[in-house]
Amino acid sequence: METLNPEQMAWARAVGLTVERAAFLASCPKYTKCGAHMKHARIELPAPNKYLMKSGRKYYFRVHSLAGKSTIIPLGYDLDAARVKRDALLAELKAKKVAYSNV
């Protein structure tokens, strides 16, 4: 517990705290309660099947647009082949985005 000086003890009594409670609160580390000042870092794990959707046995490439529409393209039944096709589609979309942003 933290040792309080007479001024701090007087303040604790004035606000309705016991001296023991004020000493305990003074000994707590700062920012023990998470709030707007301390946001949790988002952990981004590599997702090998990102943008892939499986329906039945078939895999699909799925991307949502800013307009709220989804683009769904069938990629086949093999997961490894679907990942290769998905990577090619993502590279193509990235190239188009760079081309539009340079205009």
Query: Against a cut of 0.85, is the pTM above it?
Result: no
* Domain identity same for 63 and 22: no
Pick 49 or 43 by higher pLDDT.
49
Ranking 9-18, 39-48, 73-82 by mean pLDDT, the lowest is: 39-48
pLDDT-derived band at 10 (thresholds 50, 70, 90) equals: very high
Residue 65 lies in a domain: yes
The closest of 48, 45, 1, 42 to 21, measured between CA atoms, is 1
Domain count for the chain: 2
pLDDT-derived band at 81 (thresholds 50, 70, 90) equals: very high
Domain that holds residue 59: 52-101
Residue 44 lies in a domain: no
* Domain identity same for 27 and 56: no
Average pLDDT in the 40-55 region?
84
If you average pLDDT over every residue of the chain, what do you get? 83
* Domain identity same for 21 and 60: no
Q: What is the 3-state secondary structure (H, E, C) of 46-91?
A: CCCCCCEEEECCEEEEEEECCCCCEEEEEEECCHHHHHHHHHHHHH
